[in-house]
Amino acid sequence: MGELLVVRPGERIPVDAVVVDGLSSVDESLLTGESMPVEKGVGDEVYAGTINGAGLLRIRATRVGGETILAQIVRLVEEAQSSRAPIQRLADRLLTFFIPLVLLVASAALILWILLGSPVRGLTSFVSVLVVACPCALGLAVPTAIMVGIGRGAESGILIRHGGILEALGDIEAVVFDKTGTLTKGEPEVVEIIATGFHSEEEALRLACIAEKGSEHPLAEAILREGARRGLDIPDAEDFKPLPGRGVVAEHRGRRILLGNRNLMELYGVSLEALEDEARRMEAEGRTIIFLAVDDVAAALFAIMDTAKEDAGEAVEELKALGLEVYMLTGDNSRTAEAIALELGIDHVLAEVLPEEKVEVIRGLQAEGLRVAMVGDGINDAPALTQADVGIAIGSGADIAVEAGDIILMGEEIEGVVKAFKLSRMTLSKIKQNLFWALLYNLLTIPLAAGLLYPLAGFLLRPEASAAAMVASDVIVVGNSLLLRRKPL
């Protein structure tokens, strides 16, 4: 590790690494299932198996060989595909009764034909019943569907730890989402600026950026990002003084810039009357409010909010359409939580929940008789992910949360949760279809092989035809499972 490598345009990246020079787009569809290339620059991580676009990248290796994310995914999928789902026990129980029953039917057919004076026909029936009733189709019904389902998930950036999770997901009744970083982007953004008549919106933003340039506060970063997005020139302030719990005071070209909350404005005697109505409206919408004053005169109001992911609202609607109850769990205040929930169409909101209380919330829902899936990405979500009937971890989140998840979504899109539920239901449907076909096949062919129709139609299923029918039955089961690969999620 630590070696420097050059990745030319169109080449496959051989190791997990950090970009040290260059700019390019990278096709990460192999890992995340996302078809759109991702822009990569200095400091960004790139992963083994992904394909570099049109730019030249110099990278420093961080994980190689069996330690790469791709190698870990391969191991996880291999282990999951070899696991046994609980529904497999149903097939095993059927086989426990099936084999003795087949032997009984074959022996009864042999004895009956001998008693009727046709020992050759009896022997033919005996062999035909044993051949046609080979339990292969029953044995293949569950594992083939599980294997294809897990593989289909991996292709879509959904990693499932073992086959039982696909079955458990099909029984889920409620989905609980953590808010920050799961339903929302996890980065505060400036969503609205209201300037007084003394300053334009752009000038107010520039002054706010000058004041915040030396700050590392998350809200300061949101303002600076907005200034950078608009291409503003941000000079350094001559003086900068942070006031914890209030905001900052800066000096620029002889003007005093105040940027912070109401307490800061009150401290310097700034009247907020011109902005008060807009401030109350924004606070009612769950936004964080930052005031700007220049030379102790109110100049602007900034509304900052951790905005919802683009696909979150649509994903919530799809989950509800699947018959699932959707909950949002957050440590944020009720007003902010209600605003996000209203935007996304979430009916059940649990706000101001401490990290250690999240497990109790999950237990409470389970005590009500609900089977619960938890979706999260942070360290504080790990205990709740473990407590839930199914834990779904966002792959870009903390390592401990990913380790606690039964399902890992390689991308950040909430649509991956919807796809996981659809995949579970499709896989379980294929298993039921396979089992139904295996049982129907045996119910139809065993009587034919035993000679039930011979007295009526002169038809007896011979051993060679029985063998062909048995093979055809297995092919149908495997083929039906493989159809999962063609179904859109």
Tell me the catalytic residues.
178
Distance of alpha carbon 474 from alpha carbon 191, whole angstroms: 59
Using only C-alpha atoms, what is the Rg of the chain?
Answer: 32
Going by C-alpha positions, the residue among 73, 56, 76, 66 that lies closest to residue 13 is 56
Distance of alpha carbon 73 from alpha carbon 51, whole angstroms: 17
Distance of alpha carbon 334 from alpha carbon 349, whole angstroms: 8
Query: By the 8 A CB rule, do 408 and 159 touch?
Result: yes
Beta bridge partners of 239: 251
Q: What is the DSSP letter of 12?
A: B
Going by C-alpha positions, the residue among 269, 264, 268 that lies closest to residue 219 is 264
How many CB atoms sit inside 10 A of residue 104's CB?
11
Cα 150 off chain centre by: 14
24-27 β-sheet, strand order:
38-40, 24-27, 51-52
15 contact partners, CB below 8 Å, separation of at least 6 = 5, 48, 59, 61, 62, 63, 64, 68
189 contact partners, CB below 8 Å, separation of at least 6 = 222, 225, 226, 304, 305, 306, 307
120 token code pair: 């050759």
The secondary structure of 334-372 as a DSSP string is HHHHHHHHHHHT--EEE-S--GGGHHHHHHHHHHTT--E
Tell me which H or E stretch contains 422: helix 415-450
Distance of alpha carbon 287 from alpha carbon 303, whole angstroms: 6
**How many residues would you count in the chain?**
489
Question: Euclidean distance between the first and final Cα of the chain, in Å?
Answer: 38
Tell me which H or E stretch contains 222: helix 218-229
115 token code pair: 């008693």
